[in-house]
Amino acid sequence: MTSLFPTTRRTAPADRTRPSTTPGDHVSTPSSDVALDVRALKKIYEGAGRQVEAVRDLTFSVARGELVCIVGPSGAGKTTLLRGIAGLLPLTSGEVVLDGARVTGPPAGMAVVFQEYGRSLFPWLTVRQNVELPLKEKGLKKAERREKVEAALEAVGLADSGDAHPWQLSGGMQQRVAIARAVAYEPSVLLMDEPFAAVDAQTRADLEDLVRTLWHRLGVTVLFVTHDIEEAVYLGQRVLVLSNRPTVILEDVTVDLPDVRDQLETRSTARFAELRHHVYELVQKAKKGYRPDGEAV
Amino acid sequence: MATTTAPAGAVASPRRPVLSGRTRDVALGGLGLLCVVVVLQILPALGVADPTYLPSSTDIGAALGRLVTEPEFWTAFGQTLRGWAIGLAVAMAAGVAAGVLIGSVPLLRALTASTVEFLRPIPSVALIPLVVLVYGSQPQSALILVVYASFWQVLVQVLYGVADVDPVVRDTARSYRFSRLTVLRQVVWPTALPYVVTGFRLAAAVALILEITAELVIGVPGLGQRIGVSQSSGAVATTYALVVVVGVIGVAVNVLARQVERRVLRWHPSIRRELP
């Protein structure tokens, strides 16, 4: 079963094969170029007298500087996967390797942006204090902290809102604060768990562009989990499509859209439509219980 | 009578209160209090109540006016307040410390749960014979009763508060690798704070009740003891006046606690205002 992955992972469907621009597109990538390596990740929840196999076997890697989206039907174990990678959830088997070191707890080189921005930000702290606290915890000096906090707030367009409390801001602005906090932390890999699921469509478009901009400017590696197919295709260099439970990867789709993306232009190109169509079909298949090894559920 | 002048077509229009919000509440509260005073004035005069046991409002007022000129009254007043404040402070400190510790360590929580549930419902007054044996009518007797009664109020609230940390907040703190101390100071404490304040309000009221009870029953010096002395010496109006004073202290304590709450929990959804 694991032998299937290298093939599904690396080959796009025959009629869609395009020259790939993605770096690190070789199975034998030198470990220095791989920021995040997920190997045979498996998670079985042990309930009262019953077991639920949430994630069966996930193997993929994210090259340094890459922006990878994970998309799947609801209930595909996206959050389980992300929490497993973030070191917030003990795995049943398999391993997560970040910068060559095995993840056993929340690693120093990782920052997570959660979907529930309203609950992830501390209401008793101001915006600035929220961004600053992890840096304080890292042991940074005051001057350095201030510099990084201001730069991060500036980067997300909230330079003027540092003294406000998060609850005084709109939902989109709150999620910007959470992003600023993660960016200021300067992680090697930035995990985002459906970060824009709870904001309106226009705000979402702005935030998507913000993620692309930050990714370009800071060269950070991003793993972006979403249930939104268009969002995944618009943002990612690759889209990993998950099956339904117990989760495996259905296909690793390379997004060969131009690097400069624009909400209007990119989304109206034929290639975008093709990719969206393809991913959409995969997700529909996943919902119906299609699995890469042909096993019906 | 203004309604009679309204045109017939205005029947469906919503009635608008003359005063709004807080002013209205205060006015209505004052009106209610005035009603009680008036009824108290009328009942003895009508002969419904025996003036020997229920003096009129004016008599109580006069007794109160005499009381506040006596230095002994103020001594007793100070003794009661001091006993209350010390007892409350000890209960708060012990309750918060024990609550945070027990609440943060699941094993400790499981170990103490049944003991807490056993000790908590024991009325503090049931300890009166015990404290009298040990301390007689010294202030320590009142202190023990006050601390015992208010400690549980605080402890139980703090335990709930510590357990109320949002899982997303917990994940956030973990993913940014906050140390235990930082989690305690920056996550657990702010989360528990609303509960601590509620515990403070409950404990403040209970502490006052127990302080007065100890003074009245055991004879610990203070307003409660003065109530007992006035009653046994037949100074009925003075007895009532002292009761009024105790009531006023109770109201003041509650107002104070609310003020503290408003300041400490500016960020909390129950207190915070909309966009400034």
Q: Write down all domains in chain B, each with its CATH number in brackets.
A: 57-264 (1.10.3720.10)
Of A68-72, A143-147, B254-258, the one with minimum mean pLDDT is B254-258
Q: B187 contacts in A (CB within 8 Å)?
A: 122
Q: Do A137 and B182 touch (CB under 8 A)?
A: yes
Question: Are the Cβ atoms of B179 and A86 closer than 8 angstroms?
Answer: no
Distance from CA of A134 to the nearest CA of B (A): 6
User: In the predicted model, what is the mean pLDDT of residues B208-212?
Assistant: 93
Residue that the structure tokens 């006993």 belong to = B83
Burial of B244 (0-12, 13-18, 19+ CB in 10 A): middle
Residue A261 has pLDDT above 60, yes or no: yes
The tokens describing A31, both together, are: 């470990």
A87 contacts in chain B (CB < 8 Å): 175
- Does residue B243 carry a pLDDT above 50? yes
Q: Give the mean pLDDT of chain B.
A: 86
Q: How far is A191 from chain B (nearest CA, A)?
A: 11
Q: Which residues of B touch chain A, with CB atoms under 8 Å apart?
A: 166, 168-169, 171-172, 174-179, 182, 186-187, 190, 193, 267-269, 272, 275-276
Would the pLDDT of A286 be above 60? yes
- pLDDT for residue A78: 84
Q: What confidence score (pLDDT) does residue A294 get?
A: 55
Residues with Cβ within 8 Å of A83's Cβ and at least 6 positions away in sequence, in order, are A89, B171
Q: For A20-58, how does the pLDDT look when each residue is reduced to its tens digit (9 = 90+)?
A: 444 433 334 444 588 889 888 888 888 777 888 888 888
Domain ranges, ordered by start, for chain A:
1-13+32-107+187-297, 110-185
Write the residue in A110, A116, A165 that is nearest to B175 by C-beta.
Answer: A110
Q: Which of A211-220, A245-254, B162-171 has the lowest mean pLDDT?
A: A245-254
Residue A19 Cα distances to A131, A232, A234, A273, angstroms: 41, 20, 18, 18
Strand-pairing partners, residue A112, are A191
Taking CB atoms and an 8 Å cutoff, what residues of chain B touch A116? 168
How high is the pLDDT of residue A246? 82
pLDDT of residue B273: 60
A130: which chain B residues are within 8 Å (Cβ-Cβ)?
A: none
Q: Which residues of A touch B177 (CB under 8 A)?
A: 106, 108, 134, 137
Is pLDDT of B222 > 90?
Answer: yes
Quick check: B147 pLDDT over 90?
A: yes
> Residue range B81-99: average pLDDT?
95
- Please report the pLDDT score of residue B15 as a whole number: 58
B-chain residues near A133 (CB < 8 A): 176, 178, 182, 186
- Which of A131-140, B19-28, B124-133 shows the lowest per-residue confidence on average (mean pLDDT)? B19-28
Closest to A113 (Cα-Cα) out of A253, A245, A43, A210: A210
Q: Is B123 in a helix, a strand, or coil?
A: coil
Tell me which chain A residues have a C-beta less than 8 angstroms from the C-beta of B275: 168
Supply the pLDDT for residue A6: 37
Q: What is the rounded CA–CA span in Å between residue A264 and residue B196?
A: 52
Q: What mean pLDDT do residues B177-193 have?
A: 91
Dist CA A161 CA B64 (whole Å):
55
What band does B261 get if pLDDT is binned at 50, 70 and 90? confident
Q: Which residues of A264-293 are buried (b: 16+ CB within 10 A; e: fewer)?
A: eeebeeeebeebbebbeebbebbeeebbbe
CB-nearest to A88 from B175, B267, B269 is B175
Phi-psi region of A257 (alpha: psi -120 to 50; beta: other; left: phi over 0): beta
Instruction: Give me the helix-helix angle, B223-232 and B71-104, nearest 10°.
Output: 130
Joined tokens for residue B11: 């029947």
pLDDT of residue B18: 60
Q: Where are the beta strands (DSSP E) in B188-251?
A: none
Domain covering A1-13+32-107+187-297, topology: Rossmann fold (3.40.50)
Which one, of A234, A152, A228, lies nearest residue A187 by Cα? A152
Look up the ipTM and state it: 0.79
SS3 for B164? coil
Q: What is the pLDDT of residues A2-17, one digit of tens each?
A: 433 333 333 333 333 3
Nearest CA in chain B to A109: B176
Instruction: Specify which residues A102 forms β-bridges with.
Output: A97
% of chain B at pLDDT higher than 90: 50
What percent of chain B lies above the pLDDT cut of 70? Answer: 91
Nearest-Cα distance to chain A for B105, in Å, is: 19
Residue B23 has a pLDDT of 83
Out of B172, B269, B276, the one facing A120 most closely (by C-beta) is: B172
Q: How far is B266 from chain A (nearest CA, A)?
A: 8
Residue B140 has pLDDT above 70, yes or no: yes
* pLDDT value of residue A31: 45
Is residue B199 over pLDDT 70?
A: yes
- Over range B130-151, report the average pLDDT: 92
CA distance B268 to chain A (A): 7
Q: Which positions in chain B touch A108 (Cβ < 8 Å)?
A: 177
B26-50 per-position pLDDT tens digit = 888 889 889 988 888 888 888 887 8
* Residue that is written with structure tokens 């608008």 in the block: B16
Interface touch B172/A106, C-beta < 8 Å:
no
CA distances from B29 to A28, A174, B21, B22, B36 (A): 79, 41, 12, 10, 11
Q: Are the C-beta atoms of A232 and A224 separated by less than 8 Å?
A: yes
pLDDT at B83 over 70: yes
When mean pLDDT is compared across A24-33, A181-190, A232-241, B69-78, the lowest value belongs to A24-33
Q: Which of B212, B203, B207, B209 is nearest to B76 (CA)?
A: B212
Give the separation between CA B142 and CA B131, rounded to whole angstroms. 8
Selection from A60, A110, A66, A55 nearest residue A88 by Cα: A110
Distance from CA of A117 to the nearest CA of B (A): 9
Asked if A122 and B276 come within 8 Å (Cβ–Cβ), the reply is no
